[in-house]
Amino acid sequence: MNSLLPLAIGLIALLYASVGHAGATGYIAMMALFGLPAATIRPTALVLNVIVATIATVQFARAGHFQPRLFWPLAVASVPCAFIGGAIDLPTTALEMLLGAVLLVSAGRIVVELVRHDPAGAAAAPPPAVAAAPMLLAGLGGAIGLLSGLTGVGGGVFLTPALLAMAAAPVKGIAAVTAAFILVNSLAGLAGGMVAGRLPPAAGLPMIAAAVIGGAVGSHLGAFMLPPRALRLLMAGVLLVASGKLLLRPLGL
């Protein structure tokens, strides 16, 4: 394995974990760039996702940002859908192009809102309409779970902009819920792939170590040190990177 790949994995894990994400889109892009076999890329990305999402979930929960009322309706619906999506092996070129465009718009929206509104922005608690609408959250979770299983990502890049648009929680609360959401969806996607006969490959100790270190440093920064404005800017950056990977990957770039 090229020694630069673990370094790239660690940097991606650090950046994504700082906003409660786990980095699957970045891992997929890097592994493709370094020539890993296509059949191993999706399950390997999910394995790395589980590692980083576990660390980020613990760190954001330790900091007191986890919001169970927001998480459980999302997770209960998303897990079976991610399992189904992980068992399906479909050409995803058109889907990835569409999702990349959506993420690009979402990143732009975050930047515009930072310019127009209170930079710290985020309510102290989920608005009543969101907190009292578990069916709405379940529908959102199910749709994102299916997409995450189909594309081999944990779903955080889809969930974060949706929750930000809904003003569902403070920005660090959204990061905490996103990390836990990615964890359960990545596990479900892996299980679906195993049922379909795609056993997860060994990621290799250097890649695992890099993901652990990057995830630990990034999630600590996001949970305990970064102010909400910086976290929102990082979220916009992560969404921009993710959208670029999804838009360019079908083109072989």
- The residue among 194, 156, 181, 189 whose CA lies nearest residue 82 is 189
Name the more confident of 35 and 73. 73
Q: Which of the pair, 179 or 30, is modelled with greater confidence?
A: 179
Using alpha carbons, select from 64, 89, 60, 113 the residue that is nearest to residue 197: 89
Q: Rounded to the nearest 5°, which phi and psi values hold at 123?
A: -70, 160
The model's pLDDT over 43-76, given as tens digits with 9 standing for 90+, comes to 888 889 999 999 999 999 999 999 999 999 999 9
Most confidently predicted of 2-6, 77-81, 150-154, 214-218: 214-218
Contact by Cβ (8 Å): 184, 49: no
**Boundaries of domain holding 180:** 4-251
Banded model confidence at residue 194, pLDDT cuts 50, 70, 90: confident
Q: What percent of the chain has pLDDT over 90?
A: 34
pLDDT bracket for residue 216 (50, 70, 90): very high
198: phi then psi, degrees, rounded to nearest 5: -105, 95
Please, what is the average pLDDT of the chain? Answer: 82
**What's the pLDDT at 31?**
84
Residue 192 pLDDT > 90: no
Total domain count, the chain: 1
pLDDT 10s digits, 77-119: 999 998 888 787 766 676 667 667 766 776 777 777 666 655 4
